[in-house]
């Protein structure tokens, strides 16, 4: 989920030992990911890093998926990806809305106001819009700079910052979707 900063699993595994029906296999150092070996992992050594000093969630709403994809491409071109950046299409966005807990009366009123604001003042169509979830990690200054870059690029593609709470909820939704699958 945070490969932009920490790498993929094959970048993190230093050594692994597997017991298989054919004998013991060992993976030493950097090697391609192996997913076709049937066996039991009996030993593993991983690279570790200190916890980041600062972690901040964010989210961006785009008018449609195509604009969101163009933004993601620009972020990749400029090599300024945060720890995690994930674009959810409209279907995933609606799925996330369904999974939310039932808000209180005041919460429902606020949700209605937000939807009205998004629809009529920002011109976002609920049947087309999509959302990117973000996780920024590092020193505070690094996180502030990452946010400025990402939100600046998003603005070029019609993206609107949608807050930390939505970002954290969307990031956790990623795990829920994987579990449900």
The binding site for substrate comprises 181
First to last CA, the chain: 17
Per the annotation, binding residues are: 181
Q: Is the distance from CB of 133 to CB of 88 less than 8 angstroms?
A: yes
Distance between CA atoms of residues 178 and 166, nearest Å: 19
């Amino acid at each position: 989920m945070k490969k932009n900063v920490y790498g993929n699993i094959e970048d993190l595994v230093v050594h692994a030992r597997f017991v298989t029906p054919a004998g013991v296999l060992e993976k030493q150092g950097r090697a391609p990911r192996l997913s076709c070996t049937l066996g039991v992992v009996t030993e593993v050594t991983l690279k570790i890093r200190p916890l980041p000093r600062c972690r901040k969630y964010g989210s961006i709403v785009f008018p449609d998926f195509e604009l969101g994809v163009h933004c993601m491409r620009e972020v990749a071109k400029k090599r300024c990806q945060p720890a995690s950046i994930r674009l959810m299409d409209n279907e995933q966005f609606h799925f996330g809305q369904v999974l939310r807990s039932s808000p209180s009366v005041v919460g429902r009123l606020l949700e209605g106001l937000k939807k009205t604001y998004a629809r009529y003042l920002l011109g976002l169509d609920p049947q087309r819009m999509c959302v990117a979830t973000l996780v920024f990690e590092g020193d505070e200054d690094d996180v502030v700079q990452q946010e400025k870059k990402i939100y600046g690029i998003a603005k070029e593609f019609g993206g609107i910052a949608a807050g930390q709470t939505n970002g954290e909820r969307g990031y956790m939704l990623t795990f829920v979707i994987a579990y449900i699958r």
